[in-house]
Structure 1
């Protein structure tokens, strides 16, 4: 069983590395062709950045494989022996949270490098050491408080709800996911970024008119100080029900024209009109249920192979350790549905203002975010929740032809 678990993780890592190399070779070849979407200079620069990102991911995958080996060979057993003496719920909570915290610390070097070296070099990151440290402390505090509560609830399901505990754990987890989506824009996001109601003016009145015309009721339109951390452009609709709000990155407001911003928001409203959010929630629920059904029925031999007893804590840690493989297997389904939704949202966004405004906004987003506009088909099939910018723009140009 031990060799089987190691082999699965090893194959998973090799497949992801192979896909990264496919993407690198594809971009390197495409970058020599005539530029599309971007100017020639931007096209070549975006290619270099995309290749650098893939090389970073390969290094990250190799590092995580090494970390997995350490956990598998002796780390999990040592941690269990240090935290679990009597098998109580509190000890199992400490075991799981210790695993999460140690894993977060292990990942810190890559987070630091990405923020202060890679993204700084490419002109994205504005994060200061102070902001990074404060963000890390806040994230850790949220993990300790709410993570411990969540683990406790899952442990109660495991210990007291019998053979089908995983079904109850799924229901609990799905409910918590919905609650997080509900409170994210009003409680969680403001912990990390300053949210201000959009100032009165043409932009706000145009957005409110757009929302009214689409029947989208929100708790307000806000600007977020994203530029203190990053120069990328974005906007999103967050929350559910009465907590829904429109959030514009301040970088987006600075870089896009009024008509382009309305087109981008029209795209997001396209998801609302097409009920894409509810479709994705339903798909995610099926995936979450399948994951709990699988990990809820792992044989005891899998745990003993890693030096663990099959306890509530070890079940959760096993799930955390191997769930990336499960997500990777299901990612083509999620990505495929999402890409289809994006084409529909683009069409709706183009109808809000004009096709030219939507195309102009996409080109500007590509330019400012330094995004290479093409991708290897196999890589996109697995990973991309959005079609390539080249495909999206072509779809808009060719509509009704």
Structure 2
């Protein structure tokens, strides 16, 4: 039996797992199986600096090809796994060949939700933004003066709107909920971000869904919205969330929910199979959550690598996120799930704000808008378990540093 570690998925978590094992001087054979035809790369800049032409693709690569050779990592691109055979500890590839493993890691990520074909989701000119191929196709479409409809007012949709405006497109964002960022941020944060977009002439239509896209000769040319209005468009970008890539795990009989269920050591229900990143449902406080972020993909994968290498340190996520839109940097520390109180605080300079979240009197997260001090302070509070005095926090004259003690 081989002692080979096989990693399915060549994204952020898969690369982090392999790199951490080598940093730990773990010299077992490692094979990474990636479906794309390019080496592992950073995804966040794809829809921003890469799409804007400000960063070449080679700068997005985590490491050049020789790094994998030097570290004795067998990376196979354009490779799909069709099946996991747990009884024989094999993965079956698309060409029918079998690859044996001693330990298997699933870093399969997530897939953007698509619009159904019945409402025009299969028309030419309808895009999602997830990988290099998506970005390359979008780059050809996003030209000044063209009209783009962005479906979904979450972070993905709003970041796409900012890039499209920067490139000179006319932008309309529709959000089915009664406000943008409904699922992920407080009303106060949404209000600030909405003003920013409208100041850049983005049309935001909330409480507005899509009835169907209108096609001509197989190409999208318009959209009928839920209020009965019809708008002319040249392309559409769909940002309505992602679905965990848990098919292989489910078909192999592993425990899955809204993703692959793992314990605090990133182990699945099979002790020889681990999972990390966007594809997982992990324990957090008194519940299970999915964390769709670069931070979690890296931290969870590295924690799992320590366990695989012989350690036993549990992973307790300390989430942080970010979103860049125009000249606005939104930094988020913590996880606001289940919050019941918020405090809006003005920053020390114009345009700086922060929104502080509490659940049952305990501080759980902060959104910092162009306010690095609030972000850093809030992150330190979360790491130290500090819940600041809410009356002092609400007073803009209070120095945030004094709340750390």
Q: How would you bin the TM-score normalised by the shorter chain?
A: under 0.3
TM-score by length of structure 1 reads: 0.26
How does the TM-score come out when normalised to structure 2? 0.25
Whichever structure has more helix as a proportion of its residues is 1
- Bigger relative contact order, structure 1 or 2 (CA pairs below 8 A, ≥6 apart): 1
